[in-house]
Amino acid sequence: MREQRIGDVRVDVCPSCRGTWFDRDELRLLKDREERGAYRWLDVDLWKDRSRFGRSERARLRCPRDRKALVTLRYGESTVGVDVCDTCHGVWLGRDEFDEILEHLRSRVDSTTAAHYVKDLRAELREVLGGPEDPSSELADVAKVASLLQLRFIIEHPALLEALQRLPKV
């Protein structure tokens, strides 16, 4: 494994397969520190809501930190398997898995209704008060969901958007 920087976070990359090992919280740190871009989209707290991640058989891989067998979790409703260590909470993403997760998230964005985003926005607002991340990071998550809600609302109600655009500017 070779150490590589993504932003100001150091991760370990396998030079032969190009997979990446993220120690505990490194994916969350990347998400929290990126205002825009791919990492900002990730929901990477695999241990916050275990019901959202389907557990499968033990992976054939071993944790580079404690050498225990990794467990493969299904990422949300996708078919993407993410290998994690139950002990140290590190995450292994194969070379293509990160792109597959992003593609899954893009398809969810395209198919999610405004009503669902309102529900997500409420959940994110609750996390500002007592979520696992620091409040500024939780507020950034609220802003991301609010932005997606705005875009979805415009898509679902184009006539309303046209009416709003015809209103006199104040």
Give residue 89's region: left, alpha or beta (phi > 0; psi -120 to 50): left
Confidence (pLDDT) at 113: 85
**Mean pLDDT in residue range 4-22:** 88
Query: What is the separation of C-alpha 153 from the centre of its chain, rounded to a whole number of angstroms?
Result: 22
Confidence (pLDDT) at 46: 46
pTM over 0.75: no
> For 109-158, how does the pLDDT look when each residue is reduced to its tens digit (9 = 90+)?
778 888 888 888 888 888 888 776 778 778 887 888 888 888 888 888 88
Give residue 76's region: left, alpha or beta (phi > 0; psi -120 to 50): left
> For 28-79, how does the pLDDT look when each residue is reduced to its tens digit (9 = 90+)?
777 766 655 555 555 544 445 555 555 555 667 889 899 988 888 877 777 8
Is the pLDDT higher at 51 or at 164?
164
Confidence (pLDDT) at 47: 43
Confidence (pLDDT) at 95: 84
